[in-house]
Structure 1
Amino acid sequence: MRRPKQGTATTTARRLGVLLGAVGLAAPLTVAIGGTAHATPACTTRTGPHQEDVEKFLGRPADGRQSPADCRAIQGFQTQHGITPNIGYAGPVTWGVMQQEITKRDPNAAGKCPVNKGRIACVDLTRQISWIQDGKSLKFGPVPVRTGRDGYETRTGAKKVYWRSIDHWSTLYKVRMPYAQFFDGGQAFHAIEGSVWSPPGSHGCVNMRTGDAKKYWSMLGNGDDVFVYGRKPGT
């Protein structure tokens, strides 16, 4: 069998490349995810139940009515955050993800934690999160926490850190409480070995992941303010 001449093979490859390029120009826009190409779905014209809130989040005119520009902006957010179907519909899933983003940006957006005290550690029992602010400046967090279970609720109100014990041992519950910072009787911020998401909750302390409790230890001191508010679900 005779091998084709080099020039003939090169010419054939070039022709094939031109043909594939022309086909690519005529094909619909696709997005490659995990090595597989998926066609970008068409935008919906439907107005979602969270339309106005979603528009405000994206900096769009908040008229509560879907427009082609609104849909493209919503679709871009959905694609970026892996929300499917990403058709630009302002539904509960999309708005839920946006609310998580709002919490990250400003956990005190509702103004429930007093931030006119300088350095303060805020604890929101309802959302099971905590963060540290200095005036209006967010210094750390928000981070997930596990607060008191039913019957052992973490007490609400204005407190102050009054005692710190870096490698504390609870004589009452016979457990380690690393990076313990007490702010109300026996209730304290401290690290736990298990998951902060595990039910039913603590015996009143604000349980934290080790890295978060260590950061709180480095940022807070005796006399610093703590404010606890809200209500833990199930209590």
Structure 2
Amino acid sequence: MGDIRRRGAVALGLTALVAPLTLALTAAPAQAASCTAKAGPYQKKVEKFLGRKADGKQSTADCKAIRAFQTKHGITPDAGYAGPITWGVMDLMTKQKAVGKNPNRSGKCPTNKGRIACVDLSLQLSWIQDGKKLVYGPVPVRTGRDGYETRTGLKKVYWRNIDHVSTIYHVPMPYSQFFDGGQAFHSVGVSMWNPPGSHGCVNMRKADAKKYWSLLKKGDDVYVYGRKPGT
């Protein structure tokens, strides 16, 4: 980065790149739809996930429970219909939970780099490891949607800004740690399971982004692999 002038120029360039990434995340939610009486194609699976009687028949109580889940995670329309998007979110949650405390079971994230932040796009999980030792995580993340995929490969944290704000759209991106052009770890105020995803950044819950900020530093490695469902 050299001198202060160069750092300022980089910061402005990054702002222009990433401002649109979070703009969509702060848009007003869509109008809530009416609760549907129609059973969806994933009715039984959704009912089972929610701990309800898995009879495949939509009841008023079923609809309210499904709708509450959809509203919580920003799934629209939140009409209580057990469709593919709702089931996809639930299925991903189930797979994430099954990982437990061994996210690098496959050994795909390098263990010979020392401190490294790993991002598994397939499971929408991230963690920090030091060699083979798990330091933090795994935690759910929200990566790039179709057409704006988070780029894969080995990268490095090259710029950090704890209070990053877009000067174009005035959108806050707290705890930003950039590792690939305009793509960065940063916190957002939406659910990590809110479809369809970001515009390339690795979105995190505030507590997780804050922890990543304390554990990572400029020059640390980041490894992104896999493929996000639906991309």
Report the TM-score, using the length of structure 1 for normalisation.
0.57
Deviates more, 1:114-123 or 1:164-173: 164-173
- Over the matched positions of the two proteins, sequence identity in percent amounts to 73
Change in Cα spacing, 1:233 to 1:101, as seen in structure 2 (3 Å) is closer
Contact kept, 8 Å, 2:122 with 2:226, in 1: the verdict is yes
Q: 1:130: which partner in 2? A: 126
TM superposition shift of 1:167: 0.7
Whole-Å separation in 1 of the counterparts to 2:129 and 2:197:
25
Q: 1:117: which partner in 2? A: 113
1:222 pairs with one of 214, 218, 221: 218
Q: 1:107: which partner in 2? A: 103
- Secondary structure of the residue that 1:112 maps to in structure 2? coil
Cα-to-partner distance string for 1:157-191 (whole Å, 9 max, x where unaligned): 00000000001013466421100000000000000
Q: 2:197: which partner in 1? A: 201
1:184 pairs with one of 180, 184, 190: 180
**Is 2:162 the counterpart of 1:166?**
yes
Cα-to-partner distance string for 1:110-131 (whole Å, 9 max, x where unaligned): 1111111000000000000000
Contact kept, 8 Å, 1:166 with 1:180, in 2: the verdict is yes
After TM superposition, list the pairs within 5 Å mapping 1:7-156 onto structure 2: 103-156=99-152
Contact kept, 8 Å, 1:145 with 1:208, in 2: the verdict is yes
Aligned CA RMSD, in angstroms, stands at 2.4
* 5+ long unaligned stretches in structure 2: 1-50, 54-91
Where does structure 1 differ by over 4 angstroms across 4 or more consecutive aligned residues? 96-102, 171-174
Change in Cα spacing, 1:152 to 1:97, as seen in structure 2 (3 Å) is closer
Cα-to-partner distance string for 1:204-226 (whole Å, 9 max, x where unaligned): 00000000000000000000000
Cα-to-partner distance string for 1:33-65 (whole Å, 9 max, x where unaligned): xxxxxxxxxxxxxxxxxxxxxxxxxxxxxxxxx
Whole-Å separation in 1 of the counterparts to 2:94 and 2:174:
34
- Which fold has the larger relative contact order, with Cα–Cα distance below 8 Å and residues 6 or more apart in sequence? 2
Cα-to-partner distance string for 1:5-26 (whole Å, 9 max, x where unaligned): xxxxxxxxxxxxxxxxxxxxxx
Tell me the amino acid that sits aligned with residue 162 of structure 2: I
Q: 1:87: which partner in 2? A: none
Tell me the amino acid that sits aligned with residue 110 of structure 1: S
Change in Cα spacing, 1:98 to 1:154, as seen in structure 2 (3 Å) is closer
Change in Cα spacing, 1:97 to 1:175, as seen in structure 2 (3 Å) is closer
- Secondary structure of the residue that 1:164 maps to in structure 2? strand
Whole-Å separation in 2 of the counterparts to 1:102 and 1:195:
20
Whole-Å separation in 2 of the counterparts to 1:201 and 1:99:
18
Whole-Å separation in 2 of the counterparts to 1:220 and 1:100:
23
Computing the radius of gyration from Cα coordinates, the structure with the larger value is 1
Tell me the amino acid that sits aligned with residue 234 of structure 1: G
Whole-Å separation in 2 of the counterparts to 1:109 and 1:101:
14
The number of residue pairs the alignment matches comes to 144
Q: 2:171: which partner in 1? A: 175
Contact kept, 8 Å, 2:101 with 2:137, in 1: the verdict is no
Contact kept, 8 Å, 2:119 with 2:225, in 1: the verdict is yes
